[in-house]
A and B are shown apart, each in its own frame.
Chain A
Amino acid sequence: MNRISDFQLTELLMKMYDNSAEAIFFFDSSGKVISMNSAARLILDAEVLNRMTAGDTKAICLSCKGYTNEQELRTCTSCYMQNPQDDLSSFQVYLETKGKGVIPYTASYQTIDVEKGIRVFMLRDLTKQYKTQESLNQKTMMKNVIKAQEDERKRISRELHDGVAQEMLSALVDLRVLKYMSIDGDVLKKVQQTEGSLMRLLDDIRHLSVELRPATLDDLGLEAAFRTHFKWIEKNYGLIVHFTAELQAKRYRGEVETVVYRICQEAVFNALKYACTDDITVRLFEEDGSLKLHVIDDGEGFEMNTTNPKGTGLGFYGMKERAELVEGKLSVLSELEKGTVVFLEIPLEKEGEPDENHNRR
Chain B
Amino acid sequence: MNSQGNFDYQKEIEQIKDRFDFDFVAIALVQSAERRFELRWVFVTGNQSNRYRKIVLQTGKGVAGRVFKTGKPMLVEDAETILGKNDLFNYPIIVTERLKSFGAIPLYKYNRVKGVLLVGYRTENTLTLEGFTEFQQVIGSEFGPFYNKEMIEN
Taking the closest CB of chain B, its distance from the CB of A310, in whole angstroms, is 8
Given contacts A193-B112, A199-B36, A200-B59, contact A235 B86 (CB under 8 A): no
Taking the closest CB of chain B, its distance from the CB of A278, in whole angstroms, is 6
In the complex, whether A192 has a CB less than 8 A from a CB of chain B is yes
Given contacts A235-B55, A273-B89, contact A196 B96 (CB under 8 A): no
Contact B58 A278 (CB under 8 A): no
Which residues in A have their C-beta under 8 angstroms from that of B51? 238-239, 278
Taking the closest CB of chain B, its distance from the CB of A177, in whole angstroms, is 15
Which residues in A have their C-beta under 8 angstroms from that of B88? 273
Q: Kindly identify, within residues 19 to 46 of chain B, every residue whose CB is under 8 Å from any CB belonging to chain A.
A: 30, 33, 36-39
- Per-position contact with A for B98-122: 1 when CB-CB < 8 Å, else 0? 0000000000001010000000000
Contact A196 B33 (CB under 8 A): yes
Contact B60 A196 (CB under 8 A): no
Which residues in B have their C-beta under 8 angstroms from that of A207? 58
Which residues in A have their C-beta under 8 angstroms from that of B49? 278
The residue in chain A whose Cβ has the minimal distance to the Cβ of B60 is: A204
Contact B37 A204 (CB under 8 A): no
Q: Kindly identify, within residues 154 to 208 of chain A, every residue whose CB is under 8 Å from any CB belonging to chain B.
A: 189-190, 192-193, 195-196, 199-201, 203-204, 207
Given contacts A189-B110, A193-B110, A237-B89, contact A203 B52 (CB under 8 A): no
In the assembly, what is the distance between CA of A200 and CA of B65, in Å? 11
In the assembly, what is the distance between CA of A240 and CA of B55, in Å? 11
In the complex, whether A236 has a CB less than 8 A from a CB of chain B is yes
Q: How many A-B residue pairs have CB under 8 A?
A: 56
Which residues in B have their C-beta under 8 angstroms from that of A312? 86
Contact-residue bracket for chain A:
20 to 34
Given contacts A196-B30, A204-B59, A272-B89, contact A235 B54 (CB under 8 A): yes
Which residues in B have their C-beta under 8 angstroms from that of A240? 54
In the assembly, what is the distance between CA of A200 and CA of B58, in Å? 8
- Per-position contact with A for B57-69: 1 when CB-CB < 8 Å, else 0? 0111100000000
In the complex, whether A311 has a CB less than 8 A from a CB of chain B is yes
Contact B55 A237 (CB under 8 A): yes
In the assembly, what is the distance between CA of A142 and CA of B53, in Å? 41
In the complex, whether A255 has a CB less than 8 A from a CB of chain B is no
In the assembly, what is the distance between CA of A311 and CA of B92, in Å? 17
Taking the closest CB of chain A, its distance from the CB of B154, in whole angstroms, is 25
Given contacts A196-B37, A311-B86, contact A204 B112 (CB under 8 A): no
Write 18 A-B pairs (CB below 8 A) sorted by A numbering: A193-B112, A195-B33, A199-B37, A200-B37, A200-B38, A203-B36, A204-B58, A235-B55, A236-B56, A236-B61, A237-B89, A237-B92, A238-B52, A238-B96, A272-B89, A273-B89, A276-B95, A312-B86
Given A238-B54, A239-B51, A312-B86, 14 additional A-B pairs, CB 8 A = A196-B33, A200-B37, A200-B39, A200-B59, A204-B58, A207-B58, A236-B55, A236-B61, A236-B92, A238-B53, A238-B55, A238-B92, A239-B92, A240-B54
Q: Ordered nearest first, which 3 A-B pairs have the shortest CB separation?
A: A238-B51, A196-B37, A238-B54
